[in-house]
Amino acid sequence: GAGVSQSPSNKVTEKGKDVELRCDPISGHTALYWYRQSLGQGLEFLIYFQGNSAPDKSGLPSDRFSAERTGGSVSTLTIQRTQQEDSAVYLCASSSTGEEQYFGPGTRLTVT
Amino acid sequence: GQSLEQPSEVTAVEGAIVQINCTYQTSGFYGLSWYQQHDGGAPTFLSYNALDGLEETGRFSSFLSRSDSYGYLLLQELQMKDSASYFCAVSGGRRALTFGSGTRLQVQP
């Protein structure tokens, strides 16, 4: 079956611009996660959606970051007024159990 | 908060056995997971331990000691394709994962 998909795969943007990153989770997975990974580093938790519950936003690094999940499926991560330190690979994952997370291929964001 | 410690690099030869250790500190604990990530790829799930003991899946095994806040990933019969980064991760007070910085495994012929 289809895995987690993300778009775009690459995004180059100028400092100060807003960007939107999209995630399509595996159908039926109630949990959706956003992480980011800087080069050679581990994954940093950003935000977590579980069903219809209020999202866990405790990992968002600033109020420039926001995310929504529509209809319990597709999610969009928005970064406003991008900064160079936002450059990273943004990874989305989904899960049905919370024990095993399935990751998408990521969006490589470069802020110039 | 949550933090994890794992070695940054490990080198081994084909056919050998390698153990990657992970110690963690967390408030609340659901389980310890291991993920593999090849360069340029996405992390892929390897194993999950919620209870003490050893879980075996083919050439890979994972161990957890909750009392010691410690776990390890054991890779047997190493193959060149096992060269990758390996991350331990804990799910604590929230179900999202907190990842370690990763161990880069290099398998040599």
Q: CA–CA separation, A109 vs A86, rounded Å?
A: 8
pLDDT of residue B28: 80
Whether the per-residue pLDDT at B37 is higher than 60: the answer is: yes
Q: Could you give the C-alpha distances from B50 to A16, A19, B6, B61, in angstroms and in order?
A: 43, 38, 19, 14
For the CA atoms of A77, A83, A86, A90, the dihedral, rounded to the nearest 10 degrees, stands at: 30
Tens of pLDDT, residues B38-90:
998 999 999 999 999 999 989 999 999 999 999 999 999 999 999 999 999 99
Residue B34 pairs in a beta bridge with B47, B88
Q: Answer yes or no: is pLDDT of B105 > 60.
A: yes
**Dihedral of alpha carbons A43, A106, B73, B69, sign:** positive
The residue of chain B with its CA nearest to that of A58 is B94
Contacts of A59 in chain B (CB under 8 A): 96
Chain A partners within 8 Å of B48 (Cβ): 99-100
Query: SS3 helix, strand, coil % of chain A, rounded to 5?
Result: 5, 50, 50
Question: In this complex, is the C-beta atom of A98 within 8 Å of any C-beta atom belonging to chain B?
Answer: yes
Is pLDDT at B23 greater than 60 in this prediction? Answer: yes
pLDDT tens per residue, range A32-82: 999 999 987 889 999 999 988 889 998 999 999 999 998 879 999 999 999
pLDDT at B95 over 70: no
- Please report the pLDDT score of residue B100 as a whole number: 92
pLDDT of A5-29, one tens digit each? 999 999 999 999 999 999 999 999 9
Sheet holding B18-25, edge to edge: B3-5, B18-25, B70-75, B60-65, B53-57
Both tokens of residue B100? Answer: 């370690």
Cβ-based neighbours of B16, under 8 Å, separated by 6 or more: B78
pLDDT of A105 reads 95
Rounded to an integer, what distance in angstroms lies between the CA atom of residue B41 and that of residue A24?
Answer: 18
Q: What pLDDT shows up at residue B96?
A: 78
Q: What is the model's pLDDT at position B32?
A: 94
**Comparing B28 with B1, which gets the higher pLDDT?**
B28
**Stretch (H or E) spanning A50:** strand A43-50
* pLDDT tens profile A100-112: 899 999 999 999 9
